[in-house]
Structure 1
Amino acid sequence: MLFRLIKNYMRFTRKLFSEILILICICIGLPLANADAQTANEFMIEGVIADEEGKPLPGTSIFITQLKLSTTADDTGHFTLKIKPGKYTVQFSFIGYRRITKTIEVQKDIRSFNVTLASDDNHLQNVEITGRKERSYKASGSFSGSKTETRLQDIPQAISYVTKEVIEDQQAYRALDLIKNVSGANAFSYYENDIVIRGFRASNSLINGLRTISNGWSSSLLSYVEKMEVIKGPASALFANTDPGGTVNMITKKPLNENRKSIMLSTGSYNTTRIAADFTGPIDTSGTFLYRLNLGYQKAGSFRLLQGTEDIVIAPSFTFIPDDKTKVNFELVYARTNGRLDRGQAIFGATADSGSEALYTTPISFAIGKDNDFLNETNLFSTISIQHKVSDKISLNASYMKFMWNEDLLEHRTSNNYAVDEAGIPIPTLMEMRTIRRKQRNYTDNLTLYGVYDVETGPLSHRILLGYDYIQSVFPKDNNSAYNARGYRNAANTGKINTYDPLRKERYLIVNGRPVPNVPHFDLTKPDYAYADINEYFNVPEANEFTPTMYYVNGVYVQDQIKWGKMQVLLGLRKEYYVDVINLKESNEQKVEQSALLPRVGVVYTPMPELSFYGTYTQSYQPQGSSRIGNPDVYGGPFDPLEGKMIEGGLKMEILEKRLAVNIAAYRIVQDNILVPSGDGDILRQIGQQRATGIETDIYGTLSSNLSLLANFSYNKAIITDSNIAGEIGRTMPNAPRSQGNIWAKYVFTNRSLNGVGVALGANYVTERNTQNVNLQLPGYTLMNAALSYSVKKFKMAVNFNNIFDKTHWIGGYDYVRLFPGMPRNFMTSVGYMF
């Protein structure tokens, strides 16, 4: 059934693309055809749309029923329409406000009238079913803090976010492009979800609040993303085992109950070509069925040698609203990336003497690999969400997501070591190499069921939530690794030995004073990227790499949001049962069972509607995976689970008539038992404790109707506080800058001569960071960015300039063989049409 659904959507997509091409041709001709098209009997209506306090509502939809004609209000709430004389029915709608209908009669040259929309207090959802119509850098609510839509000011925890408007204005196309907009967050590497939040490396992620467990390398295009949220600190009390620094939650675009369509074409540096399309609206006249279809395609090169990808995203979704008590949403996202796996830049060996100077021994474009390497990844996930109101006080909610990931990989990569001579002395210009040829897949199921009960007890109002979660992730038996080659050839040249031991050199094939590698060394001074035949190596499947495993979680939780006057208290408790299975369905199957009780306490005091003070305490818990616990010969151990706790306090306020949100948070997070590389092959070791203390500020919104602003700043001290290696105590954790910040401001002119012209300026800076190698530190950097745009009627054109001063920098890194340089000076242009 799933494949039939995909086939039908591919047929539908081909038809849409055909219509898009026709539309583009029509649009190109429209300005010429209509330059003198206005006739004497065509009149203009105009007006301003505002809320009950007189604040403009940009993005409000205006629809004339008889003409099937629509437009939207600009950044000042102003709208214009040219129509013939007559009597018309006009609808005005905006998210969070009651839709109104006016009857107008156009008889004069200019008919001007203003519209006031009243707020709708019943628009909040328990499960996110229908989409958001807001068009601002500022978001008003979130599901991430309490599993029901709650005002951000009422959530006793910091939640940073990046809206689709920022994504569009910055022409960002992957999640990694958005991290700079989040306080206290930066990259660890190029890979999906591999980031640092508040000094702690994070890898867990959510999609619409549902856990996804994937070993994927590449993040898909953002064409289907409405908003990226980062829940700061532990979120285990709501979302099972999560990282102590924070968790990324990607919110997908949902159907809207109004017609909106757009297409955007982009091109820019490194031969980048991109197309994105977004179609949404009601399927029937009653608005019972809604749809949305997001399409994305990109083919791009890279400043990195051998790199470049071809990406496609197809993301349809449907909403069914049979009555005012029931809402159902179904969505499907298919994302494919074809390219190569970029393991990062390798440099000559860093020592205590060379330090960071070794960073410049190879260019930032430098990569290791072969021309015939490839990485093809596919992500396919489907979600169904249901909300049913039993009564005005009770609602039942359910969501289920099936996530499937597939990898097809061939790579030549380093063994994270330099080559050695006969005596075992490293040669810092030659990298020891290995190859990997594998196909693997992962299936993740995520089910969440919960009920919400609103009740009052005397002066207290309660929102009680009782829920159950089930999460399961399986790496099945049919994963395989057909070819893996590494190490050095044996003396008879009939096989290989994984590591070289100079005390037993008689076991190895020695030529010219060096052991002969199974896979030829990579010369950093004379790189060779030519096609390589992996059949020439001694290939042996890695037995431990594809052990079939399963991980599943059963969690029950209760939460009470209590409100008493200006005070709110959030109490939560979750009981979690973790089961890891290694050698799944084999005779030697092994289970590891763990459990945890996770509390959460938060307090919010709101002395005035625009200002809230809050404090919170919460814990995190992460069991070490069975593959690590069950393989002490490979990874070491046994290992204790990761356990963390956080205390946080801060304030959230809305100023300038609630157009601008300012959030300030101070925190202290402690985590025990983190695993780090030991420096001895795959063996891991456990650090006793690390601690992060810091303060963050996030600013979102508009300073005026013309000026939008996004800014953040953070100061964070993340250090090792307990270790069995005395010299590590007090050392800053890898890729955890002491300070970082970002600003992005956009001004749109409205005067006659420059009407529709937008100018944006931005800057982001990061201080120096440690890597996992004690001798290597990444320097700090400051980057400048800018953009120009022009909007006229339904067209928008834009050009973005990034890293204007061409600053050489590194966004993250492991050590001297795996560093991740940032992009040099680049640009991106786009032209879009909305209809």
Structure 2
Amino acid sequence: MKQKLTTICIAYMLCTVQNYASATEIEADSVKIITLNEVIIESNNDKKYRTDKLSSSLRIQQQLLETPQNIQLISAEVLKDQFSLNVNESITRNVSGAFREELHNGISADIYMRGGYISAQRNGVDLRPLLKGPIGDDVAIIENIEFIKGPAGFMNSLGDPAGSYNIITKKPTGINKKTFSVIQGSFGLIRAEADLGGKLDNKGKLLYRFNIMGMNKKGFLRFDSNERILIAPSLKYKFDENTTLTVEYIYQRLNYMMLSEAQISPNGFGSLPRNFSITDPSSRPYKANDHNVFANFQKKINKNWSFTGQLSEINSQSAGTIFWVYGKNETNPNILDRYYVYDGMKYNIFSAQAFTQGNFSTGEVKHSFLAGIDFNHKHNKTQDTWNTASTIYPLDITNPVYANVINNNGTGGDFDSENQINSPENLTDSKLYYTSFYVMDEIGLLHNKLKINGGIRLTQFEADFNQYGEKTDASDWILTPRIGANYLITKSFSIYGLYDNSFIPQAGIDYQKNPLKPIRGKSFEAGLKKDWNNKALNTTLSVYHITRSQNIVKDPVNNDIYQSGENESKGIEFDLRGQIVKGLNVIINYAYTDSKITKDDKNPALVGKPTPNRIRHIQNTWLDYALPFKSIKGFSLSLGYQYMAGRAERFTSSDPQDLKDFFRLDGGVSYSKRKFSINLMVNNILDSHQYSTAWKRNDMYYWVQLPPVNYRCSITLNL
């Protein structure tokens, strides 16, 4: 019924906009247009580290300089230079204050920013499951990544008040493209990928893009392994110059030994050998399959009005086993009491969106208008033994002996556990529907130097949740306003301010078995933006203050979930990206984040303590320099570092543990000539002993160990 209602609303909106546009259309001057074949000329001196073109999926029409919000763009060129293979690999170094909770291996990116867990979008579609996920996107399908700082309810789907990131996938362009790449590296890494594109007919109406990738590698931890396959075909059909339909399909398959790369010990963070593993070679590998279908229809009605409608569906399934330790062995602390846990999850996300954009004037006042509707349905099912696994597989950290016989190591579709895993204690089933209507209008004053936008979103949601036999439901209507202003001091310098509200519908129950309430967020932001060197370089300086109420917190002792009350995040962020001088491209950013609990009725001792995973200081630098010497033309050198200080644990605790500062240095060299390029990257040049996400629980220390010095080398051929 909900999907039918959404379809009717979308059809009504399309008809209304077309009728209005037809009545107000102004005939354009007759201009003869000559279309030239597009030619791509690549040069090390012209890398695109800085761009101000936002994707159409963000729904706003301004340039970055005129947008009253801090939005940072990461181009595919940057990801290539830094040798990132997927979203889980250091892409956050390119955005001030962003970082990963590195716990769920390939299953989930888990990115934090401004004191909160930010939402994942793909082409403007909300694809965050109700639990962990989605699978970290591979660079083989990534065109750009947009980091939207703060609430953005009118630009993309709902999310945490900290912000969101939006993956823009590669799409057909009509340009003939045949790119092949092979990568070899440390820990047995071997990877091959291809990117093909062009036209399928002589008239250039039907375009295609085809990306394929296969990867296999061992980890630096004992018994770790990772296999990954990606297939992503897409088609674009041009009905005419103003009407297009794009259809994409993305298939990802993962197969690896470790759901989590955490190390565990009673002796403190980082106290085990780097390659120590709590898993076992005889355990069942973890497997995941992910299918995503995406369709986008765009209609330019006239020079002032356009309509966009899109549908997306994701079906994902993952299952495997993990060894986990819940507490300390009091008899012999060096013995890890490992429980063998089965963890399986299925989720489906269906999304339908429609929005219209237009420009008109009332007297001397110019308007940019946006209105639309979003529908989203999320359905998660899990089957696990996190609370029921009972057999202990001891492991001595001073003399580990592996290859034990696993009693419940099923290898087929069923898992032969010592417990019945189909009982209510092993199952969850959660559903969340929301339908949202929104409008936003931006007016231009003072010869369009001052732009003020205001908007409002009305969301209705319903949630049903069955967690280990406990059933609950929730529903509500929520109104979220937004107002922003941007003033162009000069053509290349602007100042802006923003007030925004947001919320995240929740499906679940708290420790008292009550339905979870929506997380409510309120954000104030102000900043300065400046373009330099004829838009080759951009800087952004912003300050923000975010409050979250009805925030969800997991008790670090008994794992119960409750809504603690409020937390507060405030900070300063600076981003610089682009070309300083010819051949020298840079990314420099810094963030100061003060995020803490301000109200917690259930645990007053936590008030004033940092929110989960808070990092007070983050500073990143990346330099890429094309050597100017004619005798060695085509060579580039890269060097960059990541620095983090004031790190907090994964869970808020009344007795917080100190986490050491983080510093990693990476560097590389590349050579390109015509259609051929080779790239070498060395990560962790100083071979520093680093760990990321960490926490203490039940007298045990948990942390994620990071790799020692390692390298990657690629050969790429463009035909």
**Number of the residue aligned with 1:456:** 361
Question: 561, 581, 584: which one pairs with 1:684?
Answer: 561
Larger-gyration structure (1/2): 1
Contact 1:199/1:245 (<8 A) preserved: yes
Aligned match of 1:20: none
Shift of 1:328: 1.0
SS at structure 2 position matched to 1:727 = helix
The equivalent of 2:691 in structure 1 is 810
Q: For residue 557 of structure 1, what is the aligned residue in structure 2?
A: 438
Q: 1 CA distance for matches of 2:619 and 2:483?
A: 29
Residue 468 of structure 1, CA deviation: 0.7
1:213 aligns with 2:94: no
Task: Assess if the C-alpha contact under 8 Å between 1:395 and 1:453 holds in 2.
Answer: yes
Aligned to 1:568: 451
CA distance in 1, matches of 2:582, 2:616: 35
AA aligned to 2:616 is R
Q: Which residue of 2 aligns with 1:522?
A: 395
Taking the aligned partners of 1:237 and 1:429, their CA distance within structure 2 comes to: 53
Match of 2:4?
none
d(CA) in 1 for partners of 2:246, 2:687: 45
Say what the alpha-carbon RMSD is for the aligned residues.
Answer: 2.6
Aligned to 1:614: 496
- 1:625 matched to 2:507? The reply is yes
CA distance in 2, matches of 1:615, 1:555: 25
Contact 1:778 1:812 in 2 (8 A): no
Distance 1:217 1:646 in 2: 26
- Among 707, 711, 718, the alignment partner of 1:823 is 707
CA distance in 2, matches of 1:320, 1:72: 26
Report the equivalent of 2:43.
74
Mapping 1:527-538, distance limit 5 Å: 527-535=400-408, 538=418
Task: Name the structure 2 match of 1:51.
Answer: none
**Match status 1:323 vs 2:205:** no
What is the Cα deviation at residue 149 of structure 1? 4.3
Distance verdict in 2 for CA 1:62–1:239, change over 3 Å? closer
Match of 2:297 in 1: 386
Once the two structures are TM-superposed, the CA of residue 74 in structure 1 deviates from its matched residue by 2.8
CA deviation digits over 1:10-40, x for unaligned, max 9? xxxxxxxxxxxxxxxxxxxxxxxxxxxxxxx
Q: In the TM superposition, what is the alpha-carbon distance from 1:824 to its structure 2 partner?
A: 1.6
SS of equivalent residue, structure 1 residue 576:
strand
Distance in 2 (alpha carbons) for counterparts of 1:463 and 1:254:
27
Structure 2 Cα separation of the partners of residues 687 and 746 of structure 1:
45
- Quote how far apart the aligned CAs of 1:418 are: 2.1
Q: Report the CA distance between 1:757 and its aligned residue.
A: 0.8
**Cα distance in 2 between the residues matched to 1:386 and 1:145:** 12
1:792 aligned partner, one-letter code: K
Matched, 1:186 2:69: no
Q: Which residue of 2 aligns with 1:498?
A: none
Which AA in structure 2 matches 1:375?
A: Y
TM-score (norm 1): 0.75
Q: 1:370 to 1:817 in 2, by over 3 A?
A: farther
Determine helix, strand or coil for the equivalent of 1:168. Answer: helix
Distance 1:587 1:665 in 2: 46
Amino acid at match of 1:605: Y
Q: Which residue of 2 aligns with 1:658?
A: 535
Cα-to-partner distance string for 1:381-419 (whole Å, 9 max, x where unaligned): 0100001123333222101101110112122222x3223
Task: Give the superposition deviation at 1:193.
Answer: 2.9
Contact 2:388 2:425 in 1 (8 A): no
* Structure with greater contact order relative to length (CA < 8 Å, sep ≥ 6): 2
Q: Show the counterpart of 1:645.
A: 522
- In structure 2, C-alpha distance between the alignment counterparts of 1:330 and 1:614, rounded to whole Å: 37
**Matched residues in 1 for 2:165 and 2:264: separation?**
32
Cα offsets for 1:181-222 (capped at 9, x unmatched): 1111112223313122012233x2100110113333752422
Unpaired runs of 5+ in structure 1? 1-60, 65-69, 78-134, 351-357, 422-426, 489-517
- Asked if 2 retains the 8 angstrom alpha-carbon contact of 1:339 and 1:374, the reply is yes
TM-score (norm 2): 0.87
Structure 2 gap ranges (5+): 1-34, 409-415
Correspondence for 2:464 among 559, 563, 581: 581
Shift of 1:694: 0.9
Q: Identify the match of residue 200 of structure 1 among 104, 113, 116.
A: 116
Q: Decide whether aligned partners of structure 1 residues 702 and 538 sit closer, same or farther in structure 2, where only a CA change above 3 A counts.
A: same
Tell me which amino acid in the other structure corresponds to 1:336. Answer: R
Name the SS for the 1:768 alignment partner.
strand
Q: Is it true that 1:373 corresponds to 2:284 in the alignment?
A: yes
Q: Report what 2:186 is aligned to.
A: 269
Deviating 4+ runs (over 6 angstroms): 61-64, 586-589
- Cα deviation, residue 75, structure 1: 4.7
Q: Secondary structure at the match of 1:454?
A: strand
AA in 1 matched with 2:173: L
In structure 2, give the amino acid aligned to 1:198.
R
CA drift at 1:770 = 1.6
Within-5 A mapping of 1:137-536:
137-143=49-55, 146-177=58-89, 178-191=91-104, 192-202=108-118, 204-214=119-129, 215-216=132-133, 218-349=135-266, 358-371=268-281, 372-414=283-325, 416-420=326-330, 428-475=333-380, 480-481=383-384, 486=388, 518-535=391-408
For residues 464 and 62 of structure 1, what CA distance do their matches in structure 2 show?
A: 33
Preserved contact between residue 345 and residue 366 of structure 1 (Cα < 8 Å) = no
Give the match for residue 669 of structure 2.
788
Q: What is the CA deviation profile of residues 37-59 of structure 1, one whole-angstrom value per residue up to 9, with x for unaligned ones?
A: xxxxxxxxxxxxxxxxxxxxxxx
* Paired residue type of 1:593: S
Give the equivalent residue in structure 1 for 2:31.
Answer: none
Partner residue in 1 for 2:48: 136
Count of residues paired in the alignment: 661
CA contact (8 A) 2:614 2:647 kept: yes
| CA displacement at 1:692 relative to structure 2 | 1.3
Q: 1:155 to 1:800 in 2, by over 3 A?
A: same
Give 3-state SS (helix, strand or coil) of 1:804's partner: coil
Instruction: Name whichever of 362-371 and 430-439 sits farther off.
Output: 430-439
**Identity within the alignment, %:** 24
Residue pair 1:575, 1:598 contacting (<8 A) in 2 also: yes
Q: Is the 8 A contact 1:62 1:71 kept in 2?
A: no
1:433/1:521 contact within 8 Å kept: yes
1:345·1:365 contact (CA, 8 Å) conserved in 2? no
Q: Which moved more, 1:699-708 or 1:534-543?
A: 534-543
Distance in 2 between residues matched to 1:405 and 1:462, nearest whole Å: 42
Amino acid at match of 1:327: T
Residues 812, 729 of structure 1: CA spacing in aligned structure 2 closer, same or farther, 3 A cutoff?
same
Matched, 1:713 2:590: yes
Q: Is the 1:236–1:621 contact (alpha carbons within 8 Å) kept by the matching residues of 2? A: no
Give, in whole Å, the separation in 2 of the partners of 1:180 and 1:832: 24
